Amino acid sequence: MTIENIQEEIIDEFSMFEDWEERYQYMIDLGKDLPLIDAQYKTENNIIKGCQSKVWVHAEMKDDKVVFTADSDAIITKGIIAILIRAFSNQHPKDIIEANTDFIDKIGLKEHLSPTRANGLVSMIKQLKMYAIAYQTQLN
């Protein structure tokens, strides 16, 4: 599936919920299903700077695709990174770099986060794209 297809799927799923309480619960559930980062990667180097909570992200290349794993010490933040990983993991670095992140606005996520969590969301996206840039450079 392309990043765009996955993002459309996420938009469709969020549109099924009546209110933000249900959407938050869905995000928490997504966080619970997140493929967990291996304990050896829960280091200071893998913490996303700019997040109020601790969010660890690890990336590696498998068959020319970037595979992300993550964890967070906060349930909402864990749900947010789960959504981002679902959209961007197992994709070619070039596709991640060029990917649009409008789906975040379409599900209304940014406007329903506190300013510090919204900043953290931006930091998460930047970090995922930075990993993709690093791997794309290796491929060139």
Q: Could you give the residue numbers annotated as active site? A: 51
Q: 134 near 99, Cβ under 8 Å?
A: no
Measure the CA–CA gap between 1 and 95, rounded to whole angstroms.
12
Contact 41, 58 (CB under 8 A): yes
Widest CA span in the chain: 46
Can you read off the two tokens belonging to residue 50?
Answer: 């700019």
